[in-house]
Amino acid sequence: MEFTISTNKKQEFIDITQKIKDIVEKSKTNKGICNIFVPHATAAVTINENADPNLSLDIIEALDDTCSKKVWRHDALDNNAASHIKSAIIGPSETIPISNGELVLGTWQDIFLCEFDGPRKRRIITTIIKE
């Protein structure tokens, strides 16, 4: 199953948890795994807390600090090396167990599309493997 998200900012985290839950429900998978993958070099997927919206801003700021360098070699090509580095740190996919027809997420966990070079239209590919 695949869907798209249009991002609105240069960098942002977008909660896609409900979309993924809906896909799992429609699959009628009682037990298995769900993989979420973004086929983009400047976007990523992560699982983290959603109760405090400041947390995603803190993560972006920490990545900005980690990637703060005046000149990256890749910037000579298209000026977005830091976006590539951030997405490589976070990673393009997450795999979540499915039990009793539901994603096994912790109380505070949600799934986020991480945009590092927006605004853009991003594809999210979800694969469900039944046990």
pTM (predicted TM-score): 0.92
Number of H helices, E strands in the chain: 4, 8
Domain that holds residue 77: 2-130
DSSP state of 93: E
The structural domain count of the chain equals 1
CATH, residue 100: 2.60.120.460
Sheet strands side by side (includes 2-6): 2-6, 121-130, 31-37, 93-99, 102-103
Q: Alpha helix (H) ranges present in the chain?
A: 17-27, 54-66, 75-78, 81-90
How does pLDDT run along the chain (131 residues), one tens digit per residue?
999 999 999 999 999 999 999 999 999 999 999 999 999 999 999 999 988 889 999 999 999 888 877 676 665 568 678 889 899 999 999 999 999 999 999 999 999 999 999 999 999 999 999 98
